[in-house]
Structure formats: C-alpha cells, structure tokens
Amino acid sequence: MAIILDGKALARQVKQEVRAQVDAGGITPGLAVVIVGDNAASRIYVEAKKKDCAACGIASFEFALPADAGEAALLTLIDELNNRDDIHGILVQLPLPKGYSEQAVIQAISPTKDVDAFHFENVGKITTGDYIFLPCTPAGVMEILDHYGIDPAGKHCVVVGRSNIVGKPQALLLLHRHATVTICHSRTPDLAAMTRQADILVAAVGRAGLITADMIKPGAVVIDVAINRGEDGKIRGDVDFDGVAEVASHITPVPGGVGPMTRAVLLRNTLKAAQL
C-alpha cells in the first residue's frame, strides 16, 4: 500500500508559517478576490479563500460584480485595486462569464499583485526560473514532493494535462528541478505507454478514473491534481485511488492532497506580495 501524501496536514503547516510571519511583520497583507456572476463552484472557492485569509491574519476584500457588468467595469475595478496600498494581491476567480476576455483581464492585473502568477510577465519569469510568484497548484505539488523527500532530479516525470494554469507550469517546475519531463494531453495516442514510464506521474486532466493501476510503474509517485465532482456530490481525482495505491509507492488523496496546498500557496504568495 502506497504512502499517502497528506497535503491537508502540510497545508496546515504552511498556514501556520504564514500566520507567524504576518504576526511578526507589522504589515497586514491584503488579498482582493474578484468574482463576476454567480457560478456556484466559484462562490465556494471564494468563501474558502476568505476563510483561509482570516485564519492567517490576511485581510480579504471581496468584490462581486454581476455577470452583465461588462469587461470595461471589471478592468476599471482592477485598475483601482492595482492602485490601492492596502491590497497586495489580486485574484480574479475564473472562469469568467461569457463575454469577458480572461486574457485581457489577467493582463490588466499588476504583475506584482498577480498572486495566481498568470500574467505574461510572471509566466515568462517562471519559464526562466527567475520568478516572483509561482502558480499555486504546481508550486503546491512541488512542496508536497519536497516535504516527503521525493527529489525529481534525474527522474522521468510524466505530466498529463497541458493547461496554462497546471500542466505547462508543472512541467516547467519539474524541469527546473532537473527531471526529464514528458507532457501528455488529449492527442497523446497511447497514454498508458507514457504513464508506465513515469517515476513521478502528475495527473491534471479532469476525468475521474482516467488513470488506472495498469498504467502505473510499480513504485511510482502519483500526484492527482484533478477535482471531479461526481453526480453523487463526491469529489474524485483522475486517479483510481484504490487500485493505484496498490502499485504506487506514494499517492495524493482527493480530497486532501493537492487542493489544500494550492490554497496554502496562495496565502504565501499574498504574504510575499505584501513584502515586495
């Protein structure tokens, strides 16, 4: 049976570290969370972020716009937030409703307040390894690996998923740590042939049960980023946990793995933004 990589416990530790630094720092970091429209999932995430901030002594400011507010109003708000001294981090909850250009909105956020690290300037810096902020989810994965003494150097890491927010930056962070990296996606013809080569497998697709035990090299480390809500209301990852846990050496659970670490890294990024 694989060792469970307990992201929830590690996130608790990170939050305590952030809290201690906030208490010692004399400055109250401020995070603005902007939500447009009434997407139920986004609402849940925003509430969770506000709760996390409160637990760490970070001031959170919610800005809710109706779905039909329009991109110009959203850009005006971002401009205001860029210029406010009490707000150090700005996060726009994605996805945005139809009619908004997510790219235009992200690029309007000041790179020094871009705690999601989605701005082109931050993406470029992540590519060269000369970064201010790391994107929350891939950075959370790296912290889990580090905490459990799993060094990617020299390993073959296979990342399934190539999105701009998870797959691509994840591959880069592993590359920076001297892994040999393969990125798979929906056009990869024989996914299992790729995943079976992985010493470290990161699944970031969004399809429950995609990764089964026969796709895993015995002793591999398996990181499940995905959050899939089933019809029964339960959250599952991409990985068939029970089967894969019999073959892997280490595995993240869903929930309780990467998700809590993503939230913890956001808090750390907000603290860093305040310290800049």
Find the shortest distance in angstroms from Cβ 255 to ligand NDP: 9
Count of beta carbons in the 10 Å neighbourhood of residue 130: 8
Find the shortest distance in angstroms from Cβ 86 to ligand NDP: 27
Task: Dig out the tokens for 18 from the structure.
Answer: 């952030």
Run of H or E including 155: none
Q: Please identify which of the residues 15, 52, 114, 116 carries the catalytic annotation.
A: 116
Cβ atoms 210, 238 nearer than 8 A = yes
Q: Choose between 198 and 225: whose C-beta lies nearer to ligand NDP.
A: 225
Q: Please identify which of the residues 52, 93, 217, 272 carries the catalytic annotation.
A: 93
Q: Choose between 77 and 141: whose C-beta lies nearer to ligand NDP.
A: 141
168 is catalytic: no
CA distance 163 to 169: 8
- Residue numbers at the binding site for ligand NDP (CB under 6 A): 137, 160-163, 165-167, 184-188, 191, 204-207, 210, 225-228, 258-259, 262
Find the shortest distance in angstroms from Cβ 28 to ligand NDP: 25
Cβ atoms 129, 178 nearer than 8 A = no
Q: Choose between 70 and 255: whose C-beta lies nearer to ligand NDP.
A: 255
Q: Choose between 20 and 192: whose C-beta lies nearer to ligand NDP.
A: 192
93 is catalytic: yes
Task: Dig out the tokens for 83 from the structure.
Answer: 């210029």
User: Does residue 157 sit in helix, strand or coil?
Assistant: strand
91-106 as b/e: b if 16+ CB within 10 A = bbbbebeeebeeeebb
Cα–Cα distance list, 151 to 18, 87, 142, 167, 217 (Å): 24, 36, 9, 19, 17
Q: Choose between 122 and 262: whose C-beta lies nearer to ligand NDP.
A: 262
Find the shortest distance in angstroms from Cβ 265 to ligand NDP: 9
CA distance 60 to 268: 14
Please give the sequence-ordered ranges of beta strands (E in DSSP) within the chain, or none if there are none: 3-4, 30-36, 59-65, 89-92, 156-160, 180-184, 200-203, 221-224, 228-229, 235-236, 250-251
Q: Choose between 77 and 119: whose C-beta lies nearer to ligand NDP.
A: 119
Find the shortest distance in angstroms from Cβ 183 to ligand NDP: 8
Q: List, in sequence order, every residue forming a beta bridge with 182; answer none if it has no partner.
A: 158
Find the shortest distance in angstroms from Cβ 70 to ligand NDP: 25
List, by residue number, the catalytic residues: 49, 93, 116
